[in-house]
């Protein structure tokens, strides 16, 4: 019983709001450290790729952005599951705070993918299985954001959005494999970029940058969730106290 | 259990029969969209044969979506839906009945008229058969997945457009395998594999989607 | 340790400069603009909530 009590206490916006406020600068600082280290390794130390020349350096942001776009969707679905199962208020807020960052990651993944594809494949866009799935993932993010924005009642928006996320997360693997199969049938790009053996420094650069993107996403999502909390809980005493206290 | 499903499906069918104009409109929408493509692309038979599966399937996706906003809206407006939600039998069964009725008035007519449109695209008899089979097998999945979207957007402003944003990405696997079946037949590879995957998807979505839609309805009715 | 011979080599990226810097530039811009936009949205939200709170307390006082 006490465990449950603690969980609820932690999940209550009044406790989470100041906690998020203290954590944001740390996550931002860690993101900056990883970013600098990753850029140093990836851009300055890592040798050139003998197949792709210097153009391959785009993977130091392309791969982290793609990972994060998928990971954030999973995290959102995880929050949605918690929210629907335990009816916690925090879950829906976290999912909504993460969505724009996830969508931006998907966009960055597509953008860098296009800029990579142009010199490597000779076109800005190929209907490669991974790029296509990433595009569909962006559509899923847009659908989620459109749905939650269209519902005025915050509780309904949380629950309906959560259900959509769960339906989406079940469908993502099906979509991915069907797109992959479609791609092999239609003989898309024959270039497989992951097959080229990767130098250890390249892998390190990519991992460092992925950490940077991850920490960045947490920091921005926490920033956003704090605003959502103020807005949603504006009639509660703790928000009134904060507003009266002159928080910037 | 089956009684409930059959009763709801029968009731919805009866209501739909009073609004035959809606069914016919959706059907003509399908016919017109498909007929526009040769006008936009040009009448070359080789090109049309290649495009036919994709064109017919995309038009079918759009046509089945036309009637989705109405799936729960009428019952919601007159309060029937709330009564159904309060009734002792599971709401998922009610939704299953509605999905079946929706397929009978939206998916089935498409499958019946699709071969006629396929002739416009110079498809062979084999390909026409597979096309009909694929639409028959695939459209129930569309009705099922669409029901989730319809339930989530119930009573929202701009519901129709929002519904298409939510549902169309989820339709992609059906599109790929539905068009793939016809494509494979045209190119002589045989579409059986695609058709069995379509059938699997339909079974899965008929089994699961109504329950997800029922959960969405409960959220909307709270 | 450092792989590049000169700064201009680094900028040229072996002829892929446009693509590499186009990717990194847009990513940097997004990661700069997003927090700024979030912070600005937070400021306007707080200002609006404060106004509403004041308006509410005035009506209850009367």
> Could you tell me if B198 and B178 are in contact, meaning their C-beta atoms sit under 8 angstroms apart?
yes
In the prediction, which pLDDT does A239 show?
Answer: 87
**Partner-chain residue, chosen from A139, A160, A168, that has the shortest CB–CB distance to B216:** A160
**Per-residue 3-state assignment (H helix, E strand, C coil) for B8-56:** HHHHHHHHHHHCHHHHHHHHHHHHHHHHHHHHHHCCCHHHHHHHHHHHH
Query: Where does the pLDDT of residue A191 fall: very low under 50, low under 70, confident under 90, or very high at 90 and above?
Result: very low
B39 CB-near residues (< 8 Å, 6+ apart): none
The larger pLDDT score, comparing residue B30 to residue B186, is at B30
Q: Average pLDDT for residues A55-74, to the nearest whole number?
A: 91
Query: Where does the pLDDT of residue A198 fall: very low under 50, low under 70, confident under 90, or very high at 90 and above?
Result: low
Instruction: Dig out the tokens for A101 from the structure.
Output: 């960052």
A35 to chain C: nearest residue by CA?
C28
The larger pLDDT score, comparing residue B18 to residue A220, is at A220
Residue B39's alpha-carbon distances to A244, B19, B48, in angstroms, are 66, 31, 11
pLDDT tens, residue by residue, A130-178? 888 899 999 999 999 999 999 989 989 999 999 999 999 998 888 888 8
Kindly report the number of other CB atoms within 10 A of residue B17's CB atom: 10
In the prediction, which pLDDT does A189 show?
Answer: 43
Pinpoint the alpha helices (H) of chain B. 2-18, 20-41, 45-66, 70-77, 80-86, 91-102, 108-120, 125-152, 159-186, 192-221
Q: Average pLDDT for residues B97-125, to the nearest whole number?
A: 91
Q: Average pLDDT for residues B93-109, to the nearest whole number?
A: 92
Chains that touch A (3 or more CB pairs under 8 A): B, C
Q: In angstroms, rounded to a whole number, what is the distance separating the alpha carbons of residues B204 and B138?
A: 11
Q: Average pLDDT for residues B152-174, to the nearest whole number?
A: 90
Spatial CA neighbour of B12 closest among A130, A183, B4: B4
Asked if chain B contacts chain A via 3 or more Cβ pairs within 8 Å, the reply is yes
CA B179 to chain A, closest CA, distance in angstroms equals 10
In the prediction, which pLDDT does A246 show?
Answer: 62
Interface of A with B in 130-169 (CB under 8 A): 136, 139-140, 142-143, 146-147, 150-151, 155-156, 159-160, 163-164, 166-168
Whether residue A187 is predicted with pLDDT greater than 80 in this model: the reply is: no
Whether residue A3 is predicted with pLDDT greater than 60 in this model: the reply is: no
CA A96 to chain B, closest CA, distance in angstroms equals 16
Q: B169 vs A143: CB contact, 8 Å cut-off?
A: yes
Q: In angstroms, rounded to a whole number, what is the distance separating the alpha carbons of residues B121 and A172?
A: 33
Candidates C14, C17, C27: best to mutate against A (most CBs of A within 10 A) is C27
Q: A58 vs C27: CB contact, 8 Å cut-off?
A: no
Q: A150 vs B180: CB contact, 8 Å cut-off?
A: no
Question: CA angle, C53 as apex, C50 and C55 as ends, to 5°?
Answer: 110
Q: B172 vs A159: CB contact, 8 Å cut-off?
A: no
Residue B174's alpha-carbon distances to A164, A189, B31, B194, in angstroms, are 18, 23, 20, 10
Q: In angstroms, rounded to a whole number, what is the distance separating the alpha carbons of residues A158 and A151?
A: 9
Locate the domains of chain C by residue range. Answer: 16-61
Q: In angstroms, rounded to a whole number, what is the distance separating the alpha carbons of residues A96 and A83?
A: 12
Judged by DSSP in three states, A53 sits in strand
Residues C2-23 as b or e (16 or more Cβ within 10 Å = b): eeeeeeeebebbbebeebbbbb
Most confident of the ranges A6-15, B34-43, B181-190: B34-43
pLDDT tens, residue by residue, A82-136? 999 988 889 999 999 999 999 999 999 999 988 888 888 788 888 878 888 899 9
In the prediction, which pLDDT does A9 show?
Answer: 61
Q: In angstroms, rounded to a whole number, what is the distance separating the alpha carbons of residues A6 and A26?
A: 24
In the prediction, which pLDDT does C5 show?
Answer: 78
Q: Average pLDDT for residues B185-200, to the nearest whole number?
A: 86
A92 contacts in chain B (CB < 8 Å) = none
Judged by DSSP in three states, A199 sits in coil
Locate the domains of chain A by residue range. Answer: 17-187+201-235
Q: B222 vs A171: CB contact, 8 Å cut-off?
A: no
Q: Average pLDDT for residues B143-171, to the nearest whole number?
A: 91
In the prediction, which pLDDT does C15 show?
Answer: 77
In the prediction, which pLDDT does A58 show?
Answer: 87
Of chain A, the percentage scoring pLDDT greater than 70 comes to: 88
Candidates C46, C48, C50: best to mutate against A (most CBs of A within 10 A) is C46
Query: Where does the pLDDT of residue B57 fall: very low under 50, low under 70, confident under 90, or very high at 90 and above?
Result: very high
> For residue A53, what are the β-bridge partners?
A49
**Partner-chain residue, chosen from A147, A156, A171, that has the shortest CB–CB distance to B162:** A147
A239 contacts in chain C (CB < 8 Å) = 49
Whether residue A53 is predicted with pLDDT greater than 80 in this model: the reply is: no
Spatial CA neighbour of B174 closest among B155, B151, B195: B195
Partner B contacted by A174 (CB < 8 A): yes
Q: How many CB pairs under 8 A join A and C?
A: 95
Average pLDDT for chain B: 90
A214 to chain C: nearest residue by CA?
C31
Query: Where does the pLDDT of residue A12 fall: very low under 50, low under 70, confident under 90, or very high at 90 and above?
Result: confident
Candidates A151, A168, A177: best to mutate against B (most CBs of B within 10 A) is A151
Judged by DSSP in three states, A197 sits in coil
> For residue A49, what are the β-bridge partners?
A53
Locate the domains of chain B by residue range. Answer: 2-221
Query: Where does the pLDDT of residue A6 fall: very low under 50, low under 70, confident under 90, or very high at 90 and above?
Result: low
Quote the ipTM score.
0.90
Q: A139 vs B201: CB contact, 8 Å cut-off?
A: no
Judged by DSSP in three states, B222 sits in coil
Q: A45 vs C3: CB contact, 8 Å cut-off?
A: yes
Q: Average pLDDT for residues A168-195, to the nearest whole number?
A: 71
Whether residue A190 is predicted with pLDDT greater than 50 in this model: the reply is: no
In the prediction, which pLDDT does B88 show?
Answer: 85
Instruction: Dig out the tokens for B58 from the structure.
Output: 């995309």
The larger pLDDT score, comparing residue B9 to residue C16, is at B9
Longest dimension (CA), chain B: 59
Query: Where does the pLDDT of residue B103 fall: very low under 50, low under 70, confident under 90, or very high at 90 and above?
Result: very high
In the prediction, which pLDDT does B42 show?
Answer: 86
Q: In angstroms, rounded to a whole number, what is the distance separating the alpha carbons of residues A106 and A100?
A: 10
CA B210 to chain A, closest CA, distance in angstroms equals 12
């Amino acid at each position: 019983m006490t465990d449950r009590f603690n969980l609820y206490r932690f999940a209550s916006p009044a406790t989470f709001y100041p906690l998020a406020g203290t954590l944001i600068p740390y996550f931002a600082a860690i993101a900056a450290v990883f970013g600098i280290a990753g850029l140093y390794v990836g851009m300055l130390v890592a040798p050139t790729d003998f197949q792709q020349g210097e153009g391959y350096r785009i993977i130091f942001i392309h791969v982290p952005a793609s990972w994060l776009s998928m990971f954030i969707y999973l995290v959102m679905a995880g929050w949605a599951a918690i929210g629907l199962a335990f009816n916690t208020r925090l879950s829906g807020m976290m999912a909504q705070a993460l969505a724009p960052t996830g969508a931006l990651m998907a966009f960055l993944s597509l953008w860098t993918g296009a800029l990579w594809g142009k010199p490597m494949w000779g076109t800005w866009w190929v209907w490669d299985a991974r790029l296509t799935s990433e595009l569909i993932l962006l559509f899923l993010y847009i659908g989620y954001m459109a749905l939650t924005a269209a519902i005025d009642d915050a509780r309904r928006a949380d629950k309906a959005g959560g259900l959509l996320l769960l339906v989406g997360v079940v469908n993502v693997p099906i979509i991915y494999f069907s797109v992959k199969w479609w791609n092999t049938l239609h003989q898309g790009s024959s270039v497989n970029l992951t097959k080229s053996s990767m130098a250890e420094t390249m892998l390190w650069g990519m991992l460092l940058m992925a950490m940077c993107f991850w920490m960045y996403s947490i920091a921005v999502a926490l920033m956003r969730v704090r605003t959502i909390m103020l807005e949603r809980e504006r009639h509660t005493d703790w928000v009134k106290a904060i507003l009266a206290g002159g928080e910037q | 259990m089956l009684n409930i499903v059959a009763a709801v499906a029968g009731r919805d069918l009866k209501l739909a029969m009073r609004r035959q104009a809606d069914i016919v409109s959706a059907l003509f929408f399908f016919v017109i969209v498909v007929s526009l493509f040769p006008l936009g692309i040009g009448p070359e038979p080789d090109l049309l044969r290649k495009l036919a599966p994709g064109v017919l399937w995309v038009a079918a996706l759009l046509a089945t979506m036309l009637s989705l906003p109405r799936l729960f809206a009428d019952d919601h407006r007159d309060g029937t839906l709330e009564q159904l939600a309060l009734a002792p039998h599971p709401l998922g069964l009610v939704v299953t009945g509605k999905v079946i009725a929706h397929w009978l008035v939206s998916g089935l007519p498409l499958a019946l008229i699709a071969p006629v449109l396929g002739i416009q695209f110079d498809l062979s008899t084999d390909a026409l058969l597979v096309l009909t089979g694929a639409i028959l097998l695939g459209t129930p999945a569309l009705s099922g997945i669409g029901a989730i979207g319809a339930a989530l957007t119930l009573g929202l402003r701009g519901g129709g457009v929002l519904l298409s944003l939510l549902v169309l990405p989820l339709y992609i696997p059906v599109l790929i395998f539905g068009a793939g079946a016809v494509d494979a037949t045209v190119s002589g590879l045989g579409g059986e594999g695609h058709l069995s995957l379509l059938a699997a998807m339909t079974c899965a979505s008929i089994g699961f989607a109504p329950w997800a839609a029922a959960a969405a309805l409960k959220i909307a009715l709270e | 340790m450092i792989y590049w011979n000169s700064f201009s080599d680094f900028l040229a990226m072996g002829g892929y400069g446009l693509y590499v810097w186009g990717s990194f530039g847009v990513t940097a811009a997004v990661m700069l603009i997003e927090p700024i936009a979030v912070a600005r949205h937070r400021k306007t939200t707080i200002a609006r909530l404060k106004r509403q709170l004041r308006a509410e307390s005035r009506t209850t006082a009367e």
